[in-house]
Structure 1
Amino acid sequence: MIVSHRHKLIFIKTLKSAGTSIELALSHHCGPADIVTPIYPLVPEHEPRNWRGWFAPWREVRSKNDLQKNVSELMRRNRLYNHIPARFARARLPRHVWRDYLKVCVERNPWDKTLSHYHMFKNASWHRHYDPDLTLDRYLQNGILCHNAPFYCDTQGQLLVDRVLRYDRLDEELADLFQTLGLPFDGLPHAKGDLRKDRTSYKEVFTPGQADQIGRAFRKEIDLHGWEF
């Protein structure tokens, strides 16, 4: 996550959507007072800052799990962090910052995103779900899918961000965003791109049954953004 007071921008980081590369690109334009959260695995040129702090743990509590989560993060002073959902970031930032800053995230076609997520589980030895023998069927059966809507929507499914950039035309949309911010855009740095060595399109990988299963699992995101297989 990035909160740039200099450019009045809040970047909410979603999963499997070039988030680390975007963070690296944005962090180069952040000032000493801006918030840059740590990323994992560590990237040498990334310099986290100003993300620790105290916050009111009762804000944005919708369940017992929310309260336990907030108290645990409060004890570690993890006020903001890498993949913090927008609703918790809103509760932990000053109200005028959330109200006045441009809030942005990225979303990706769920079939393409699912295939990328599967490759991360299969190839990323640092990941807690790493399994080099993982098959697509077993991945889909385990139910640990890459849902991003909880990062940028509230518990009722309403958007909490101002702009959702599309991953399938990311260069164009980032160029427009950087122009809006008055920043130069020379493309994204390379980060984590080596996890998916097989670049076969998801349309050629998933069976009809697998494609239908993913479509059902991501129905809310598909309806929200109009994705198609």
Structure 2
Amino acid sequence: MVNRYLSDIAEGCSSICVERNPWDKAVSAFYFWMHQRGTQINDASALFLSFCRTRLKFFSDFHLYSEGGEIAVDRVLRYESLDSDLAQVLDDFGLGDVSLGDKRLNSGIRKSKQFDVFYGENWDGEAVDLVADLFRREIDAFGYQLPTAEEPGAVGQTAS
């Protein structure tokens, strides 16, 4: 979009964005959505499944940094490794030691990282496939995978 509407300003600039593991992003988006509406989360599993079926599609950002299905920005930083990815970008630009410091990467709305509530104990719930379908482009582009048996509940792994 920037290149289309602000090409005279964007010329010579680097474009950078941040992407997040879709299964983690979905849970975070769920908490954000519920918090913004003041919705009490009594049955997280059922509410999350309903959210995935009806609202999650609004949280894919792939179209914002791609064109024709191809990534159109210079770099995509990963939320799960934001400190190191940002440090690398800043180093590449010769900006040296800049850190996020104590800045929070999230709002604190999300109370739990227990993914089994949302995806099932063995990552076999319906929501797993809904997220995979809705974020197929991100998963394919960045190699995001479900957690392995060795790291139950871990999200953010990528293929090597």
TM tier, shorter chain? 0.7 to 0.9
How many residue pairs end up in the alignment? 135
Q: Which residue of 1 aligns with 2:11?
A: 99
1:175 Cα offset (Å): 0.8
TM-score in terms of structure 1 length = 0.53
CA distance in 1, matches of 2:131, 2:56: 12
Which protein has the bigger helix share? 2
1:116 Cα offset (Å): 0.4
2:46 aligned with 1:132: no
| Contact 2:21–2:80 (Cα < 8 Å) also in 1 | yes
Q: How does 1:47-66 map to 2 (within 5 A)?
A: none
Where structure 2 has 5 or more consecutive residues not aligned to the other structure, the ranges are 147-160
Aligned-CA RMSD value: 2.1
Q: Which residue of 2 aligns with 1:199?
A: 113
Q: Secondary structure at the match of 2:17?
A: strand
CA distance in 2, matches of 1:147, 1:103: 18
Query: Which whole-Å deviations, capped at 9, do the CAs of 1:53-85 have from their partners, x for residues lacking one?
Result: xxxxxxxxxxxxxxxxxxxxxxxxxxxxxxxxx
2:98 aligned with 1:185: yes
1:171 Cα offset (Å): 0.8
Query: Which whole-Å deviations, capped at 9, do the CAs of 1:78-134 have from their partners, x for residues lacking one?
Result: xxxxxxxxx2x2222133x43311110011111010010001012235xxxx53347
CA distance in 1, matches of 2:56, 2:80: 23
Q: Secondary structure at the match of 1:195?
A: coil
State the AA in 2 paired with 1:195: I
Aligned with 2:127 (options 199, 204, 210): 210
CA distance in 2, matches of 1:192, 1:227: 20
Q: Secondary structure at the match of 1:227?
A: coil
Q: Which residue of 1 aligns with 2:65?
A: 152
State the AA in 2 paired with 1:177: V
CA distance in 2, matches of 1:179, 1:204: 40
1:192 Cα offset (Å): 4.6
Q: Secondary structure at the match of 2:28?
A: helix
1:221 Cα offset (Å): 1.5
CA distance in 1, matches of 2:11, 2:22: 29
Query: Which whole-Å deviations, capped at 9, do the CAs of 1:193-225 have from their partners, x for residues lacking one?
Result: 21112232x366313121112112211211111
Q: Which residue of 2 aligns with 1:162?
A: 74
Instruction: List 4+ stretches of structure 1 deviating above 4 A.
Output: none
Task: Specify which structure has the bigger relative contact order, considering alpha-carbon pairs within 8 angstroms and separated by 6 or more residues.
Answer: 2
TM-score in terms of structure 2 length = 0.74
Where structure 1 has 5 or more consecutive residues not aligned to the other structure, the ranges are 1-86
CA distance in 2, matches of 1:167, 1:192: 10
| Contact 1:123–1:196 (Cα < 8 Å) also in 2 | no
1:136 Cα offset (Å): 0.7
CA distance in 1, matches of 2:94, 2:13: 15
CA distance in 2, matches of 1:117, 1:103: 24
